[in-house]
Structure 1
Amino acid sequence: MLEHLSKSTLQQLIDSDAIEQIEAVLGSLRNVPFDHVEFHKRKNLANIVRVFRGDGLLKDQKALQLILSELGPSDIRGICNTLKITEIPPSIEQFAQKISRRHSKNPELKKSFGLSYLAAEPPDKPPTHLQIVGPAPYPFRQLKPYQMSILLRTLQELSPSLSRCVLQMPTGTGKTRTAMELISFVLNDSSPDDVVVWLAHSAELCQQALQCFAEVWSHVGMHPVEIHQILGDSSGLPFDRPNRHFSVMGFQKAYSLLKRDSHPFAMYRDRVRLIVVDEAHRVIAPTYRAATEGLAGDRARILGLTATPGRSTSNEEENKALAEFFFNKLLELESPNRQPLFSYLRHEGLLASAVRTPLETGRSYELSREQLASLEEEGDLPVGFLKMVGADDARNALIIDRVYEKSKKSSRIILFSCSVDQSKFIASCLNFIGVPTAHVDGKSSAENRAAVIEDFRQGRIHVLCNYGVLTTGFDVPKIDTVVITRPTASLILYSQMIGRGLRGPKLGGTETCDIVDVIDNILGMPREQRAFRYFEQYWG
């Protein structure tokens, strides 16, 4: 339906500067011929609208008024039939308001607007609780020897009440799966009303944990266990429900409930036997720490999960505080035959060999005094600086050229952008030159993200551009290229980004993964690449 609109209307739905910028960059590509006439055809402008506006297009009343005012009677009747509206609203304004308020998530409406990859059914609202009882509907995957070894060591470390430790396993080696076996062991050995709590910072990580626990418990569980999800609009802790619980909580939700009423926490924490903190480096943030300690009673052990043992490459005080929170107990993965760990993991097909292919841009940027202070305080480059870098046309042309060449050989490429605008920009350019590409960011709806990721998993999308959402809680094993366009001083963030492509063939991944680091000359930032040096052992 967007193709039915005039060029001027399509251009109004996109920022005019963005259109000029896309056209200029496409015209400067070295490896792809560019046709200016073809670019301005309605079908191509409509595709840019889809990338830049996403599923937010159907929530924007002004945009809808612009679209509806230009559609013919047959298109209007088609929309009414799709939405089962018997009478056409008397004005364009009222029709746009009705769509944006009541029908913006309608999958059939999204299809009629050509938003095909956004047309997933809205996810079902998660139940308050559910009970897992066997038999399991799928075969059980036994732990690998290296996972079983560290599981037993961790159980021994956590045997005393109030003990704490961090379990460090490199990205792609099965931290969550190993932790679920440990949780199952604890619940099988528990009293009838004991509770295990899983804390994570994002809904995606929480959902991943729920799915993994359900799979493991259905095979090894010896008792019925209630699963509780304390996320989003959850009303509170299930402190008044008996039986064993596995409760998955978002940090922010847990903290808001604690601030609202601490009484349920006092009741619940007496039953808590184990707290597992996913992405353990986050726990020393004041609100996260308060939520964790608010759930820790007199018997609670606390286990942190991480791929990297520190919080920062530059802030030793934060690293010290993190270590002290976990009583300076760090359990690291070991190979069973004293072979170097990463060599063993690659040899066994558990970890992909990372092949680093830097893209030297030759571009120079200078950090201001304020930006340097922010870097020192926050441990990473400020958002404003990243937006400036992401808006550099010459740099973006080099990135698009490289991704275009990679797409000829790679089936799944994930790209981490400097900003939302850069992610949309690169996705629009790649789509035009024939590379099926999608974009997601923090404002994308849950159903949009789920649909895009599924299309990526199935190979209908070859490149997935994102900003700030796919570093964790994202499970697509066969990623063979990771493109990192955003410069970072954060060891944790760099670990998370490259980790998306490091799962080996025995875990459903690939033998090798190309890591395309976009390298700039950032004046004022230490030239030494501490994050890269730290991860030298990943490079195959």
Structure 2
Amino acid sequence: MIEVLSEIESKAKLNKNSRTSLKCRSFIKKLGYRSRSKKMIHEIDQAIQRTNLTMLLPDQVESWLEIDLDDAIHFQYNAKSRVLAPTTSKAPALYAFQAEAVNRIHRKMIGNDSFKGMLVLPTGGGKTTTAVRWIWEAALSKRKKVLWIAHRHELLNQALETMRNQVEKPVKYRVVSGIHDHATMIQDEQLIIASKDSLTHHGERLANWLAEDDELFLVIDEAHHATSRTYIQLIRSLEKSLDRLYLLGLTATPFRTAESESGALRKLFKDGILYKKDLKNLVASGILSEPHFFSMQTDVQIAQKLTAEQLETLRFTDQLPEKIMDKLVEHHPRNLLIVQQYIASANQFGKTILFAINQLHATMLALLFQQHQVDARVVISQNDVDHNADTIQAFRNNEFPILINVNILTEGADFPDVQSVFLTRPTISSIFMTQMVGRALRGEVAGGTKVANIVSFIDDWVEKIAWSNPQSLLAGENGDETFEGISDRKVTEIISAQVMEQLALRMNNHLDFADMKRNYFAESVPMGVYAMHYLHDEKTISEDVLVYENDVDAYALMLEQLPRFCIQNGLSSKLTNGQIRQFAEQLELQFFIEDELQPMYEIIDLMAILKYFLVTKELPALLLFKERKQVNITELARTIVQKDYTYRQQKEFIQQNWDEQPFLQVFFNYEEIYYKKCVQSELLMIDTIFSPKEPYESDVSLAKLKKSNHSEWRSLMYQVFERNKQKNGMYQCVLSGERSMNKADFKVGYKKSLKNGGKTTVNNLALVKKSDKY
């Protein structure tokens, strides 16, 4: 047994991720056993504990007795703790307000066995630096243990780098997350920097780490997320096992969330805000520059829809798809706009750092600037190190005005007198955005400038992507706050963004009147939106599901039954997208074919809601679109017809309605042309006589019909269920006679198959139990 485990240990140690795998059956055979037993597992577990290996079991699996013999067993080699070595013998001095914050937190500890408070500083104000100095002085320098938690990998890396610059003696540490070490590798470190999700199922390991301690210093970055279930469970478990817990939450947005969320935040951080400085205060004191924002629309349309894999790559690595990147890089009018924007206000922008999309883009922009007699130079990784160093030094010496780079100058580069940053690449990373914007935020007191010019170049994306916004970021509003208490204006903007896309398709594709007859514009205006913004696997997920009048009751009924549905089917957040789709289709069958109204939902909407519930264990709230009645395009068209306006009167009436209704302009995203097209479409629909709908008959299978003509599929399914519905509301199988109230227990089959000449018609379709063959 020792030889086998040593062999596994050697393989894991040599692998890049310190892991190795083999089939459960092979593992047992190698150890000389014929089958598994509790005694055998106990013996092997004892032997593993004497090695540097950890057997990695799936979540909620307590023993590898439960693992299928043909499934793989994974082993992790437990690397030794890392040592955080100080970069200097003495940490850099803090600003006066940061030192004041540290002292305020120290004073809170006096006479208190514990506290739960918050440090509130704006983006660029040095929250991490301030918190690190406090834990160094209060804990790490005194060999006390510290747990630093965040919900994103980049925040973990940022914390580690800050600590490297602040500690004055070596500290044993480990970073734990999906891309760092595994929680099972935690040993006797003094400092653990971890993502909250990586600790969720490893409470025992955390308890062992703290077994000989009676106090802990806990820091939660982006603390406005700390009201989530996983955070609460973690904090409660720590409180039970410790005599003293000092909890410090870091945020720029303490109580900006909904009433319910902000109340929960106040309840969790019962000692309130220990220290706070806002952006205006730091700007007024000269520590930060006053940011001036410029948003330039490039008119570049990105019509490509991103695949699930591309979206995942974007969320995880902030990397644009190659084709889209090439389009932006090689788009000459876009590049020319960037150059012309600088030239038009060269005196104002002055010394500028420009962040390009990639190395080719950096080079192309530099050449274009030079063609317009502006000296711009490039630092990129493919350049010689000495060449880059010489270029950076020349920029410091003010030998040229524009320094172009890709991401070299986001961290560690200090240029106090930089007046502007040009952001030519979109990013979803608030950390990356903070680093880019931060190059120009050094105020006059800190040796910088009074004003910082932040120039963003905005492309037109058909895909809804939560790009990081520098203005909202500095206001403490960027990214992933809860939207439970969202403003009416914001609801309007969410709905408008999606409706405008639908209107564009409607107008550009010239949908036939048969489709339009069943969907007047008034029916196309949503009742509200399920705005779901949450964290999963250390990523921020944003899903906005529009709810229309035809489906509002179906959604309400589905949500009422959703908790029971998930329990009955044993659903968890670990489901794949394919599995989520299967269960979403069951929900569709159960709740969304109750009537023959035109369906406005999509299956991906049901998937989004199901996934949200599985991750958060909460039902989304419907944010009602209160101004819906003001979007009165259908009523406007009817008024024109009833009053028999002339063409000139029509034109004046339509224009007057637009001019006097600012809300309409917000709803239509200020696209007056779409507003007028919608009015004309309504007029055509009112004046057109429609022939009655013929019964549907086709050679297309139900499965293909669902994809190609979802409305017709839904209508057929509804009619089949209604034909087989009893007076007591139960549905009956035509074969066995079995009955059930649950539509998901049935399937619709053909009486005569398509191969044998049958058609997809109501008369040729029958309702049968899923367990029956037909």
Query: TM-score normalized by structure 2?
Result: 0.37
Name the larger-Rg structure: 2
Query: TM-score normalized by structure 1?
Result: 0.50
* Higher RCO (C-alpha 8 Å, min separation 6): 1
